[in-house]
Structure 1
């Protein structure tokens, strides 16, 4: 072990038993990502337990740390410093979470201490000293009838009861009371004395799942963990889990690390939501964290949602997970009727401007019918500010580079000054574009974004209230009364009895995004909104303003996200996109990026794309991005190479920062 900084006071005596503590110090430097040995003073012999917080002197400064283990001897040949004090004897870092944090750091080329910052909340002394929470009694096994609609649902619950490490990808049926199903799955493992971790994207989903768990497990049987609780309440609830008083945890992203003892189930809802990707180093994704946790602990894993990501499809294709999907007759019984503009030629004859109009006649008709029936209508409007992209001028397919299949875009100022398109991944100019789908040589500049439609709808439907749900104010729930609810994707309010209709506007605003996941993300958002609508038997209608010939629109009309995910996975495998490969992005100044790439020792299979210039605002310093991709079999080698290169830079105290991300949701 390396020699820690500091000094040794001669009057202190080391502990008689296991006097050496191996400590992870809170220093965010990659070249110091290893434990350091310190002597434990005799006065802290009982309190300095593995997993507790301590203060040590490192390089002349007092820093925090965690004791990883106590040993009898140190491998360091020099003198060891004493740890300064034990901040708290509470063992907040369990062996399982330590192992998980190390695995996450290794997967994402990060450091252990960065992951521990995500996993362990800050200490709150008053909460720590409060009366411990009484342990909740095991619940009764829940009624499995809700899962009986799925052919493999009963088998999954049986695996949970038998403590078998089942891995499943669950495709929820439209209109499904998914919070209740997750609560029932958690109750199955809690009844057997094991723990469960349920992770959802945001606070609205958290409130619904927590309420469902309370109904099944009781108030004392579950805790909700979220960042907006406040430091005292959050730490109090987290301690109740760490001390074993509560077996079931529901929470947002950081809850994936909840210290549940003997986990029997870890589950993530809507894994395609970008809120599951942490924006702090080392940028882990909830789905991958739970996969690592399930693999290491033997817990069951459930990846659930109305849609399916290519990553989830890969789990099924490789046999690592089995799918839980409803039978087609069940789907037809509960799904709303979905119509896309352009689906029926006679529809265009009745409305010549149907393809271009923002609200064509079929959408007005669906809204009028729902309002007349006394039901609310959901209007989904894409967010503003998508990055402009280039598409084929003939068939509107996204324009891609013929060298690396990256997205084509115009350089800065390209809207006014004629310039050839360039790849945003490898930077190569594309002066002779030819669409591989239709052969057209024309490019179309797609300006995407959506205007607010609340005023337009108010004029079109006088006498009915118009409510909005978006960034400024997100509504959790609206009553089942006639109203127009305009919402941005992800902010759709819940209606207990279901909407009468949903209008999905400006499909091109999402489909034309210069993003690898544009189609997948559009379908996910559409399905999430459409799942809130009543079934076709009750008059439920969904109208999507998009070309019905597009595969993603066909998947929505047929309600077949499984087919779309498999098709998407096939296309990404052929083009060399995630999840078929692992990709890293390297961002920084041009000099820093080039120096970083020169110092990399990559596996032979690795391919470097770029670097290309990133768009900057104002007078910011010029920045570039390089992409590095490699087969999944060499993913660990890529992560190790990136970590070593970052460590070499921090050891040299390079002034220019370089940001490294593995498997980011957005490449450019």
Structure 2
């Protein structure tokens, strides 16, 4: 034990000395400081990675009540005023020198809740990003007029209908809802089935949300696009959870970026202030500030729209899984298919599986037949037709019973063409991108740089004629219109004249749609024909599971086999994917894929980081990362290379892959973040893109 000079408190040897409370010194020009918690720790809105930490500022007495944790502020940083969020207020500062005061409080409304701040920090750490990049995704831009609107008061608790009818066919489904209602935090991976009204995936999600609200907690549902948002909101309304409105502050609110700044911010504030207990939205709504969050739901996690295209590139499924752990809420990820990452959650024991038995699956699904070249051999020369005779006959026969869906993997007219003589792929003379034709009398156009290929000649044989390689939805609609005269043909897709259709009537019609744009028929389609199966399957890691996911999403819109529903897969698809569709067994496919990836050390059995940029810049970043397996670097080709060429970039890009065991994934993220911080502080040249768990790995 020792005694310090001046008779201060005694300290046992070997124990740290008590922290001495330092008086906050601030360069305020004599302006008094807040008496309570005079130091604000602020996350500043500046992108450099080496600034990814809180900065301390003094809180003037005039801002003591408004500069609350979560509020937006202006601070002085260097020679500029920058935006920031107050993360917390504390009594003492860690900085030894003088603190600059806050410049002003932009808004006293605490838009960054402690739970969302913790989630944003966890997301940044998991994907080697910065907090400010995540906050730009999590908190929408301020809309001052909306912020000043009056807040309606709830008249009483929301009491939805209690039902589990859509879950009775699934093992563990009713138990999951009971656990949620009682305040528990179960985690489930759910493989949905088609069904009659009241048994569809939207009804099941609505009943899960209703169970959560009955238990006195809020819920969050994230779906791929605005059409799905509307479907879920309609199902919630039927389950007794009405849409939120300013004059009826109860129920579910829609939160999507497409709705515009004012509408989006109003919905955000409805959740923040507790007026809306349920949030249904698209990707960015995964960070919505739902009060007393009890359930998070991700529908169709394999859809590419769930992957954030901006740094740090998080995926909704993983964000909601982190949120489930941090906030102790229930977790549900569902789809008609099964992704390999979702299967890994089940295999690891982190989540339980909710699936139907084979008898229920057979009774609720359509009859599926794969028409490959072997099956069609007896048709003779007609087997080579894009719409073979069995498919044509099925469409003709089933049209009398209602609409028939035709799924085409590509939009447009002729998205890919080749030389008419030697069959070599037709390429742009400028950037070597693939050529396509947008209409019957259109000029070939490059799909990368957009240049018109007038006077095109084949580099291989010199011929100037073109033939189709892939046929798009517009050309397919033309062909079907000629094959079935008098039958209405409707096209649904982002590039179609009528856009993406939400629904079609239960009348005889042909509906041509691209994957993800299939409209709903109230009583289900009489049949579905899935064309160009080989093209739909694609290439690369995850191609088979993604193809099955798209096929099952379309097949789920068809009536059951008992009602005459039929699904035909046309084309030489990979056998494993085709059999998974025929047996309606996406779980088996995902399980086998996961086992094979574990043997081959591929994601999600391992964690992989992609580092892309100029060769010297990539090498500098990779050299500072320890204990990793480095694959590459290799030159970047394809659309990315064409984009750089189009803007005049002279230095080619390369990509290196860093691979570590799953258990070392967080260490890889920390090491990469540290390397990027050093790069930022040193102002190293070039632009480097770092992405953990890339979805386009091939």
- TM-score band by shorter chain is 0.7 to 0.9
CA drift of 1:369 comes to 1.4
Counterpart among 62, 70, 90 of residue 43 in structure 1: 62
Query: Is 1:203–2:226 an aligned residue pair?
Result: yes
Q: Deviations over 1:325-347 (max 9, x none)?
A: 112111111110101114975x5
| 1:300 aligned residue | 330
Contact 1:584 1:662 in 2 (8 A): yes
Q: In 2, distance between residues paired with 1:514 and 1:170? A: 27
Alignment of 1:562-641 (within 5 A): 562-598=587-623, 600-603=624-627, 605-615=628-638, 616-617=641-642, 618=646, 619-621=648-650, 622-641=652-671
Q: In 2, distance between residues paired with 1:80 and 1:510? A: 60
Q: In 2, distance between residues paired with 1:164 and 1:21? A: 36
| 1:97 aligned residue | 116
Contact 2:630 2:656 in 1 (8 A): no
Counterpart among 339, 346, 350 of residue 369 in structure 2: 339
| 1:356 aligned residue | 384
Alignment of 1:83-162 (within 5 A): 83-135=102-154, 137-162=157-182
Contact 1:548 1:554 in 2 (8 A): no
Counterpart among 189, 209, 218 of residue 242 in structure 2: 218
Q: Could you say what secondary structure the match of 2:86 adopts?
A: strand
CA drift of 1:174 comes to 2.3
| 1:471 aligned residue | 494
Q: Could you say what secondary structure the match of 2:170 adopts?
A: coil
CA drift of 1:354 comes to 5.7
Is 579-588 or 173-182 further displaced after alignment?
173-182
CA drift of 1:613 comes to 3.2
Counterpart among 554, 577, 580 of residue 579 in structure 2: 554
Q: In 1, distance between residues paired with 2:373 and 2:469? A: 24
| 1:647 aligned residue | 677
Alignment of 1:88-487 (within 5 A): 88-135=107-154, 137-175=157-195, 176-216=199-239, 217-219=241-243, 220-342=250-372, 345=375, 347-349=376-378, 351-353=379-381, 355-373=383-401, 375-383=402-410, 450=472, 452-472=475-495, 473-487=499-513
Larger Rg: 2
| 2:528 aligned residue | 502
CA drift of 1:243 comes to 1.0
Q: Could you say what secondary structure the match of 1:184 adopts?
A: helix
Counterpart among 13, 16, 23 of residue 35 in structure 2: 16
Contact 1:53 1:91 in 2 (8 A): yes
Contact 2:254 2:279 in 1 (8 A): yes
Contact 1:450 1:509 in 2 (8 A): no
Q: In 2, distance between residues paired with 1:354 and 1:28? A: 60
Q: 1:191 to 1:548 in 2, by over 3 A?
A: same
CA drift of 1:447 comes to 6.5
CA drift of 1:450 comes to 4.3
Q: Could you say what secondary structure the match of 2:171 adopts?
A: coil
CA drift of 1:140 comes to 3.6
Q: 1:205 to 1:353 in 2, by over 3 A?
A: farther
The two structures have a TM-score, normalised by structure 2, of 0.83
CA drift of 1:62 comes to 0.6
Q: Could you say what secondary structure the match of 1:542 adopts?
A: strand
CA drift of 1:666 comes to 0.1
Q: In 2, distance between residues paired with 1:502 and 1:64? A: 53
Q: 1:514 to 1:551 in 2, by over 3 A?
A: closer
Q: In 2, distance between residues paired with 1:321 and 1:343? A: 40
Contact 1:49 1:70 in 2 (8 A): yes
Q: Could you say what secondary structure the match of 1:595 adopts?
A: helix
CA drift of 1:98 comes to 0.7
Q: Deviations over 1:173-222 (max 9, x none)?
A: 12351111111111111111101000000011011001111222123311
CA drift of 1:125 comes to 1.0
Q: Deviations over 1:561-592 (max 9, x none)?
A: 11011011112112221111111111111222
Q: Deviations over 1:266-312 (max 9, x none)?
A: 00000000000011111110000000000111101001010000001
Q: Deviations over 1:434-456 (max 9, x none)?
A: xxxxxxxxxxxx97664630110
Q: Deviations over 1:142-192 (max 9, x none)?
A: 222221111211111111011111000111112351111111111111111
Q: Deviations over 1:25-58 (max 9, x none)?
A: 0011110100000000000011111111100011
Q: In 1, distance between residues paired with 2:671 and 2:588? A: 36
Q: Deviations over 1:221-254 (max 9, x none)?
A: 1101001222112111111111112111100001
Contact 2:521 2:557 in 1 (8 A): yes
Q: 1:612 to 1:384 in 2, by over 3 A?
A: farther
Alignment of 1:51-90 (within 5 A): 51-90=70-109
Contact 2:128 2:673 in 1 (8 A): yes
| 2:13 aligned residue | none
| 2:425 aligned residue | none
Q: Deviations over 1:534-578 (max 9, x none)?
A: 011111110001347701100000000110110111121122211
Unpaired runs of 5+ residues, structure 1, are: 1-6, 389-411, 416-445
Q: 1:532 to 1:624 in 2, by over 3 A?
A: same
Counterpart among 472, 489, 492 of residue 518 in structure 2: 492
Q: In 1, distance between residues paired with 2:353 and 2:102? A: 51
Which aligned runs of 4 or more in structure 1 are off by greater than 3 angstroms?
342-345, 384-388, 412-415, 446-451, 546-549, 618-621
Counterpart among 18, 34, 46 of residue 27 in structure 1: 46
Q: Could you say what secondary structure the match of 1:626 adopts?
A: strand
Superposition RMSD in Å? 2.1
Q: In 2, distance between residues paired with 1:283 and 1:414? A: 26
Q: In 2, distance between residues paired with 1:414 and 1:196? A: 46
Unpaired runs of 5+ residues, structure 2, are: 1-25, 244-249, 417-430, 435-467
Contact 2:612 2:653 in 1 (8 A): yes
Q: In 1, distance between residues paired with 2:158 and 2:668? A: 45
Contact 1:341 1:548 in 2 (8 A): no
How many corresponding residue pairs?
Answer: 603
Q: Deviations over 1:359-390 (max 9, x none)?
A: 011111111111122x11111111269999xx
Alignment of 1:650-661 (within 5 A): 650-661=680-691
Contact 1:611 1:627 in 2 (8 A): no
CA drift of 1:118 comes to 0.5
Q: In 2, distance between residues paired with 1:592 and 1:172? A: 46
Contact 2:43 2:55 in 1 (8 A): yes
Q: In 1, distance between residues paired with 2:299 and 2:525? A: 22
